[in-house]
Structure formats: C-alpha cells, structure tokens
Chains A and B, each alone.
Chain A
Amino acid sequence: MGRAGQYAALLCYLVFLAFPLFWLVSSAFKSPQELGTVDPSWLPQHWSLDNFRDAFDQQPLARSALNSLIVACSAAGISVLIAVPAAYAMVRYRSPVSKAATGWILVSQMFPFVLVIIPLFLVLKNFQLINSLFGLILVYVVWNLPFALWMLQGYVRAVPASLEEAAAIDGCSRFRTLVSVVFPLLTPGLVATLMFSFVTAWNEFFFALVLLKSPEKQTMSVILTHFLGDEGAADLGPLAAAAFLATLPSLLFFALLQRRLVSGMVSGAVKG
C-alpha cells in the first residue's frame, strides 16, 4: 500500500470516528425548529442554546451531575487509597496471595454482572443502601479495585527495590519507607489510576440503573435514559444537549491524561 493509500485509509478511519461525534455536537446546538425538519443539515443554521435550557427544565440534570461527581470522586479516591498499599504488597511480596489476587483481577472482568448485581441488591437492601449514593460508591470502589490494583502494580514494579533497601539500611521502618520513598515515586501512576477510576465511575450505567430508584438520587448516565421517553419518542434536542454535557468531564480528564491512560491500559493487557 502506497503512501496515498495509507493517508486515504487514515482519512476513512477519522471520518468513521468523527461522524457520530460531529452529529451529536451539531444536534445539541441546533434550534428545536431545525431539529424538527425532515431534511437535516450538517451544521446548525442558527447556533442555539435552547436545547441545553430545555434539558435542564425537563430533567434534574444539575442534581444528577452533582450526584455523578460525588460518586465518581469518592469511588476514585477510596479505591486508590486502598489499592496503593495493596499493589505495593502484591509486587514486593511474591506469594500465593498475590497470585490469587492477580487471578481474581482477571476473573472479575468476566462476570455477567447480573450474577453479582442480584445478591448485591439483596445485601444492600438489607443495609438500607438501595437508592443511596453511599451504596453505589461502595459498589464502585470494589469494582474499580481490581483494575486499580492492576494498573498500580505496573508503577510499583518500576520503583527500584534497591531504593527501599537503602532506606531500610538507613533505619526506616517499612511504613516509613512506603510513605516517604515509594509514594512520591508513584505519584504519576496514582494520578492516572485516580482519573481512570473517576472516568469508569462517571460513565458506569448498569449498577446505577439497578441501585438508584428516585430521580433526585440518580447519576447522570441514568438520567440521560429518561430523555429517551417511551418507545423511543425522544425529544432529540434536549437529548443531544444532555448527552453532550455528560461526556465533558470524562473527555476533559482524558485530554489531560491521554498519554498515561494509554500506558496504563496497555500495561494491563500487554505486560500482565
């Protein structure tokens, strides 16, 4: 394949990728009248924010964004906080436990979630944690943990053991070593894992759909489905506007962190 062919292929790919994205943004900024016409134009004739206003009027969008933010931040924070020491221990102490945990990380990717959500639903119900953001945070923490552990292990491996041995020789306790030697070196990995967990929790839909019942408790991904209405009779403008808004935080984090995310994702799949 010549150069020209390669560029043509690249172009095709970019079109395939950008086509729906472009349409989402364009639809979000069209006026309601324009969306009603049968012959749609590529770009809005008059850029309008009406859809955004309507979206906030129709559904508790602001409330749901706040819920999503609370849930995603807490889940990310807590999972990283407990994953860092564990990832460290898994790398530094080769043992059956580390192996079992690694196996579990893989296995946990495989469940049909329905098998887990039914018992979780029953358990959380017993503790009055259905329709509670706290309950959802708990679930997200546990479901983020395997991947967080996985990503962080890669970063821990990159910290030379000799540094720690030197600290030990200087009389540092294991805990002290962890806090003042290992942690600072892990910062990039920590940030990456944090953002990854945030994005996962922000985007998650299934658990949120099952566990959150009342609209004022629901997260953004669940609220978005309310815009669809019954039998697909959706009000397209507000639907597009709300969907556009819901991607912004993930996209922002993603833009900040693109490089690291890639290496994190890859380390999971490539290095093992």
Chain B
Amino acid sequence: MTVADPAPPPASGPGTRTPGHRGSPPPRSVRERRTAFGLDRDAWFLLLPALLPILILSVGPLLYGLSLAFTDAQAGRTDPTQWIGFDNFADLRHDTLFWDSFRIGLVWAVSVTAIQFVLALGLALLLNQNLRFRWLARTLALVPWAMPEVVIGIMWRLVYHQDAGILNATLRDLHLITENVNWLSSLSLALPAVIAVGVWAGMPQTTVVLLAGLQNVPHELHEAAALDGAGLWRRFRAVTWPALKPIVLSITALNFIWNFNSFGLVYVLTQGGPGGETRLPMLFAYEEAFRYGQFGYAAAMGMVMIAVIAVLLTIFLRNRLKEADQ
C-alpha cells in the first residue's frame, strides 16, 4: 500500500505561527502564510474536525485490524490475546474453503466488472446520441443506484423465485423452459444468477461516469475524422477511446475493488449458498468473525484480500494522483 499511512502526526500546534490575522494588512494571496506542513493555524482549525475522526475511527481501526491478523483474538474470551506471528496466515494457506471463496470472489468480481463495463459503455454511447426518451433512460438509469442493496437482493429473489417468480413465468411463456428453474439453489446457476444481479446493480454508476467522459470528447475531432472518411469503429478507436481511457481505467479499477469486497447483495440473495458456490470472501470472513468469533483469523483473511487489491491499487493510484496533482 503506497499511501496507507498518509496521516501526519496530530498537530502539535503550529508553533511558528506567522503574525497577521484579524485586522492586519491583507495577504497578497489567500494561499500564502504557511507554517506546520505548509498550513497555518486557520487551516488546521478547519481541517481537524474532519481529520481527527478519520484518524481515530478509520486509520486507527485499520491499523488495529492489521495487527489483529497476527493474534489469536477471539470473541468473548477472557484470557489475554496472544501474539502468534504468522500462524493465522499459515492456517489460511491450507484453508481450502477460504481459497474456494477467494476464487469465487475473483470470478464474481471479474465477471461483474467486465460485463458491467461492456454494457455500460454501449449504453453510454447510446445515451450520448440524440435520441428521444433519452432523458427517461438517463433518469431511470440511476434508480438502482439509489436503492439499498438489501432491497435489490430481495427484489431479485422475487424475480428468481422458483414458483412465484416472473423470470420462470416469462421463460415458460416464451417456451424457453418447460420446468421451473430454481435459479438461486442450483449449483451451476447460482453464481451466474448473482453475477447478473451484480451487473444490474452496478451498471448505472458506471454508465453515468462513462457518459460524463464521453461529453469531454472533443466534438470537432469527431467531425474532422468523419470528414476524412473514418468509419464508426475507426472514430471510436482513434478519437473516443483515447479520450475515455483515463476514466475507464479508474472506474474499472474501482468497480473491481468494490465488487471484490461486496457483501450485502449476495448475503441477501443466497447467503453464500448453495453449498458455498456463491460464498464471496467477505461473506466467508464475516461468518468467521461474527458467527464463529475468530477475529484474528478473519482479520488475516482481510489482509490477504487487501494484499491482492493493493497491487491493483498501486497501478490505479499512480495514474489518479498524477491527474489530481496537475
């Protein structure tokens, strides 16, 4: 993790405060007058109410969580927690259930991210055209985003329901199936079924972001390319895609990470079943921690997850921070 510890030591009071506040001659620019970390007292005063809670309740717990991975911490035990070094990780190496869930997590995250991206790109290109009812599609596109993931899960359970679900009824009407399928309880269909829900739930946000990216694509370039006789595909390759690429990179990386870490949707849909076929790593770690009380072990799982993500994160951040720095 390249920027995991960005927190400066809590302000020990900017001792070298420059004179000149109320009533003094105005500064040439609002940005001058600097002291500790390039910030004067006013700035610290403005920043601390936000920075302190973040330090205490998210940086702190994260570090604590990382350290828990090296202990045998358990829920509700009375004897003191022992430091056990890499034992949790050694156990984890042989935990086939965990690696199964890890594999499922990767399949889930890659499929959802990829399908979501392809559909969202197509949709964004479509919505970028001058179509009637485009506003309707744009507005509706965001509805899934506003829905709680629990509701999305419940809604799709109603759709997938073996007897009362609309999916089976529709497929039967279309003569595509003769017997009702039990989507969420079938060993082979459960994972594809939850992946479809993941795509449905995450597509809007991706679409909107890509749509915004498309609007930054210079129009004149498109026209010039068209005049030069470039076809649709050539224009996409030569004009649209290069302009879109930075956004594609960041939204894809973020989507992958969110999907890999996702929990609620699948928890509601299948609780990881049938037979663990949809047990994402977060579901596994959640059960380990809060059903079996194995805090240390679950923290080690979290750390393995973060290690994988960190690799992607570095690639991602290198690009993003460069842009943010401009």
A residues near B (Cβ < 8 Å) are: 1, 6-7, 9-10, 13-14, 16-21, 23-24, 27, 35-40, 42, 82-83, 85-86, 88-90, 92-97, 99-104, 106-120, 122-123, 138-139, 141-143, 145-146, 149, 161, 164-165, 168-169, 171, 173-175, 178, 199, 202-206, 210, 220-221, 224-225, 227-228, 232, 234, 236, 239-240, 243, 246-247, 250-251, 253-254, 258, 261-262, 265-266, 269-270, 272
Point out the residue from B163, B166, B289 that lies within 8 Å of A19, measured CB to CB. B166
- A43 to chain B minimum Cβ distance, whole angstroms, is 11
A168 and B27 contact, CB distance less than 8 A: yes
Whole-angstrom CA separation of A270 from B250 in the bound complex: 8
B21 and A173 contact, CB distance less than 8 A: yes
Residues 278-321 of B at the A interface (beta carbon under 8 Å)? 281-282, 285-286, 289-290, 295, 298-299, 301-303, 305-306, 309-310, 313, 316-317, 320-321
Point out the residue from A82, A110, A111, A202 that lies within 8 Å of B53, measured CB to CB. A82
B54 and A93 contact, CB distance less than 8 A: no
A141 and B53 contact, CB distance less than 8 A: yes
Whole-angstrom CA separation of A272 from B188 in the bound complex: 41
- B130 to chain A minimum Cβ distance, whole angstroms, is 10
B169 and A39 contact, CB distance less than 8 A: yes
Known A112-B282, A203-B147, A221-B148: A118·B158 in contact at CB below 8 Å: no
- Known pairs A14-B136, A141-B53 / 7 extra A-B pairs, C-beta < 8 Å: A24-B158, A36-B164, A119-B60, A119-B61, A119-B64, A243-B150, A251-B143
Point out the residue from B3, B145, B158, B299 that lies within 8 Å of A23, measured CB to CB. B158
Summarize B's interface: helix, strand, loop or mixed. Answer: helix
A residues near B317, Cβ cutoff 8 Å: 103, 106
* Closest B residue by C-beta to A162: B30
Interface stretch of the complex, out of B4-12, B90-98, B110-118, B218-226:
B4-12
Whole-angstrom CA separation of A143 from B23 in the bound complex: 39
B46 and A115 contact, CB distance less than 8 A: no
Whole-angstrom CA separation of A143 from B62 in the bound complex: 12
- A258 to chain B minimum Cβ distance, whole angstroms, is 6
A10 and B131 contact, CB distance less than 8 A: yes
Q: How many inter-chain residue pairs (CB < 8 Å) link A and B?
A: 331
B residues near A265, Cβ cutoff 8 Å: 205, 208-209
- B134 to chain A minimum Cβ distance, whole angstroms, is 8
B residues near A104, Cβ cutoff 8 Å: 3, 6-7, 54, 59
Q: Does B39 contact A (CB under 8 A)?
A: yes
A23 and B30 contact, CB distance less than 8 A: no
A-B contact pairs, 20 of them (CB 8 A): A6-B129, A21-B143, A21-B155, A23-B159, A85-B47, A94-B31, A95-B39, A104-B6, A110-B313, A112-B285, A114-B285, A114-B298, A115-B303, A149-B50, A171-B23, A205-B150, A206-B286, A250-B146, A251-B147, A269-B209
Per-residue CB contact flags for chain B residues 48-92 toward chain A (1 = under 8 Å, else 0) read 011101100111111011101000010000000000000000000
B146 and A254 contact, CB distance less than 8 A: yes
A35 and B53 contact, CB distance less than 8 A: no
A100 and B209 contact, CB distance less than 8 A: no
A112 and B39 contact, CB distance less than 8 A: no
B166 and A114 contact, CB distance less than 8 A: no
Q: Does B42 contact A (CB under 8 A)?
A: yes
Q: Does B178 contact A (CB under 8 A)?
A: no
B123 and A82 contact, CB distance less than 8 A: no
A17 and B37 contact, CB distance less than 8 A: no
A224 and B154 contact, CB distance less than 8 A: yes
Whole-angstrom CA separation of A83 from B51 in the bound complex: 9
B268 and A20 contact, CB distance less than 8 A: no
Q: Does B16 contact A (CB under 8 A)?
A: no
A residues near B57, Cβ cutoff 8 Å: 120, 138-139, 142
B126 and A165 contact, CB distance less than 8 A: no
A240 and B50 contact, CB distance less than 8 A: no
Point out the residue from A27, A86, A120, A261 that lies within 8 Å of B158, measured CB to CB. A27
B residues near A141, Cβ cutoff 8 Å: 53
- B91 to chain A minimum Cβ distance, whole angstroms, is 17
B8 and A102 contact, CB distance less than 8 A: no
* Closest A residue by C-beta to B38: A95
Whole-angstrom CA separation of A122 from B282 in the bound complex: 19
A residues near B54, Cβ cutoff 8 Å: 101, 104, 142, 145-146
Whole-angstrom CA separation of A123 from B53 in the bound complex: 14
Residue from B4, B39, B213 with most neighbouring chain A CB atoms (10 Å): B39
A112 and B305 contact, CB distance less than 8 A: yes
Per-residue CB contact flags for chain B residues 152-189 toward chain A (1 = under 8 Å, else 0) read 00111111010111100100000000000000110000
- A138 to chain B minimum Cβ distance, whole angstroms, is 6
A111 and B62 contact, CB distance less than 8 A: yes
Whole-angstrom CA separation of A245 from B133 in the bound complex: 28
Known A118-B298, A119-B65: A206·B157 in contact at CB below 8 Å: no
A247 and B147 contact, CB distance less than 8 A: yes
Whole-angstrom CA separation of A20 from B167 in the bound complex: 9
A221 and B150 contact, CB distance less than 8 A: yes
B50 and A115 contact, CB distance less than 8 A: no
B299 and A258 contact, CB distance less than 8 A: no
Known A89-B47, A139-B57: A96·B38 in contact at CB below 8 Å: yes
B residues near A254, Cβ cutoff 8 Å: 142-143, 145-146
